[in-house]
Amino acid sequence: MADDTAAATTASEDERLLHELGYAQELRRRMSGFSNFAVSFTIISILSGCLTLYGYGMNTGGPAIIVWGWPIVGVMTLFVGLAMAEVCSSFPTAGGLYYWAAKLAPKNGAAWSWFTGWFNFLGQVAVTAGIDFGAAFLIFALVLMAHGIMNQFGIRLVALLNDVSVWWHILGVLIIVAVLAFVPSKHASTTYVFTNIVNNTGWHSTFYVLLLGLLLAQYTFTGYDASAHMTEETHSAARSGPRGIVMSILVSLIAGWVLLIGITFAIQEQHYTLYTSALVPPAQIWATAIGDTGAKLLLLVVIGAQLFCGMSSVTANSRMIYAFSRDGALPGSNLWHQVNKRTRTPTNAIWLAAAGALILGLPYLWNSAAYAAVTSIAVIGLYIAYVMPTYLRLRQGENFKRGPWHLGRWSYVVGWIAVIWVVFITILFMLPTASPIGWGNFNYTVIAVIVVLGFAGIYWAVSAKNWFTGPKVQGTAEELAAIERELSA
């Protein structure tokens, strides 16, 4: 009885806070703090991200950057996540980043909100495309459809699958590392694993190549804004959302490093060229180390993780679309904002998220470099959106109203490190990755960023500045309650 009373009190407090932010409790609040963490951890998906770009790391820096790039990028990403978490605690709403930008900007809040939201939206779509495309190739569309169907059944099923996903990832890492530690007859030397540098890029600067190799880790450390987008469906949102962001990065940092070290020790040096020419280099490493059958079994663990990852990415993306449409920012907003009365989920937004990812993946049919462009869009788009609210929060200084989860006197140090790091990686990942530069290896990221900026900028100048005012208040307390009663009927 006491537990029920406590749960009811927490729910009413969450609802009151959401009302203060201007929104009705349209979505069903069924997620625990662990489930909130699980969504972000699943989207980071060390089993998916680490292995999808492992071959990139083998050519761009080799074992040294694969092993050392991960903790370097992980720690810097933790600063970004900590800064985001502090803002999330003050504004626990599904809008997340664009809502934060609107509320923190000293002036022109609508413009800050608009650009942050579009970078976040396109970055989210690109992440979903990259994950599901990496998992399925020719059955890309079928996987996206499956993820849409899973999300349509409601938040309770999604939360359960994400909870399962956490243990799938952790046990998967332990199984892979254990098999690679005990089954192979020989392993690479410690010196080789931690110091050997490989440069197959055509560039002569080792330092430059090692910097490029950081993309392996930085691409994987994306998507943890999901914890913010799920706050309207999470109990104790002002604390659970921030903790979800931070813990997803921290656990991924530790478990991912263990995984990468385990795989790299399994490299047979004489087969390195075979690995780099393989469609899935880690699978080829496993095949030469433990045989084809063992490699296929380990690959099933990875495929399962990618399926969980894509499902969670659609979940987070749909909530961002729902919130952005609730405030009228997307074409057809009235359609994408609708909530299914039975499941209390934004069904139309779910299918827009899946369709958008499918469209973004289609250029691969004509140019294989398109997949690299999609991953770059995901990294750059999301991180630009991540850092805008942090920068605005820093400009507010002591005027910023902290939530129950905050960094205290460390806010400014953490925040400025986060801003500097994002500026650094934004520039880095628009630089050419191979030499000589041709159409086949051209880094399309700079074009993608220009297209996103150009689209959002032109749309804003021509039309949106006349009608988009940032986050809307849905009504008075009585009107919000009426919306909630209608959905519950």
More confident residue, 36 or 429: 36
Please tell me the distance from the alpha carbon of residue 223 to that of residue 225, in angstroms, as a whole number: 5
Fold that domain 28-488 belongs to in CATH: Amino acid/polyamine transporter I (1.20.1740)
Please tell me the distance from the alpha carbon of residue 106 to that of residue 126, in angstroms, as a whole number: 30
Cβ atoms 212, 431 nearer than 8 A: yes
Please tell me the distance from the alpha carbon of residue 151 to that of residue 349, in angstroms, as a whole number: 10
Question: Looking at the predicted structure, is the pLDDT value of residue 193 above 90?
Answer: yes
The confidence band for 133, taking pLDDT boundaries of 50, 70 and 90, is: low
DSSP state, residue 466: G
With residue 54 as reference, give the H or E element that holds it. helix 54-59
60 in helix, strand or coil? strand
Please tell me the distance from the alpha carbon of residue 236 to that of residue 15, in angstroms, as a whole number: 10
Among all chains, which residue has been given the structure tokens 């579009």? Answer: 118
Please tell me the distance from the alpha carbon of residue 408 to that of residue 396, in angstroms, as a whole number: 15
Confidence at residue 1, expressed as pLDDT on a 0 to 100 scale = 47
Please tell me the distance from the alpha carbon of residue 167 to that of residue 153, in angstroms, as a whole number: 22
Confidence at residue 140, expressed as pLDDT on a 0 to 100 scale = 59
DSSP track, 237-257: HHHHHHHHHHHHHHHHHHHHH
* Strand-pair partners of 234: 31
Residue pLDDT, tens place only, 399-411? 889 999 999 989 9
Confidence at residue 375, expressed as pLDDT on a 0 to 100 scale = 66
With residue 61 as reference, give the H or E element that holds it. strand 60-61
What tokens appear for 432 in the block? 């050419």
CA 259, 265, 266, 271 dihedral sign is positive
What tokens appear for 196 in the block? 């050997």
* Strand-pair partners of 31: 234
Q: In the chain, what are the domain boundaries?
A: 28-488
Confidence at residue 158, expressed as pLDDT on a 0 to 100 scale = 76
Among all chains, which residue has been given the structure tokens 């399925």? Answer: 136
Residue pLDDT, tens place only, 352-378? 888 887 777 676 666 666 666 666 667
Please tell me the distance from the alpha carbon of residue 335 to that of residue 346, in angstroms, as a whole number: 10
Confidence at residue 2, expressed as pLDDT on a 0 to 100 scale = 45
CA distances from 112 to 100, 259, 384, 395, 410 (A): 9, 39, 12, 13, 25
Confidence at residue 28, expressed as pLDDT on a 0 to 100 scale = 82
Give yes or no for a cis peptide into 436 (omega within 30° of 0): yes
Residue pLDDT, tens place only, 314-355? 888 888 888 888 888 888 888 888 888 777 888 888 888 888
The confidence band for 134, taking pLDDT boundaries of 50, 70 and 90, is: low
Torsional class of 449: left (φ above 0), alpha (ψ -120 to 50), beta (otherwise): alpha
Helices (H), 91-205: 97-104, 109-136, 140-152, 155-182, 190-195
Averaged pLDDT, 75-97: 93
Of 16, 44, 480, 96, nearest to 322 by C-alpha is 96
Residue pLDDT, tens place only, 197-219? 999 998 989 999 999 999 889 88
Confidence at residue 179, expressed as pLDDT on a 0 to 100 scale = 94
Averaged pLDDT, 91-116: 90
The confidence band for 126, taking pLDDT boundaries of 50, 70 and 90, is: confident
The confidence band for 445, taking pLDDT boundaries of 50, 70 and 90, is: confident
- In single-letter form, the type of residue at position 127 comes to V
Please tell me the distance from the alpha carbon of residue 86 to that of residue 91, in angstroms, as a whole number: 9
Of 69, 249, 261, nearest to 173 by C-alpha is 261
More confident residue, 437 or 88: 88
* Strand-pair partners of 198: 61
Please tell me the distance from the alpha carbon of residue 415 to that of residue 446, in angstroms, as a whole number: 26
Averaged pLDDT, 220-231: 89
Q: Which residues contact 243 (CB under 8 A, 6 or more apart)?
A: 33, 36, 37, 85, 227, 405
Please tell me the distance from the alpha carbon of residue 119 to that of residue 25, in angstroms, as a whole number: 26
Whole-model pTM above 0.85? yes
The confidence band for 17, taking pLDDT boundaries of 50, 70 and 90, is: confident
Q: What percent of the chain has pLDDT over 70?
A: 89
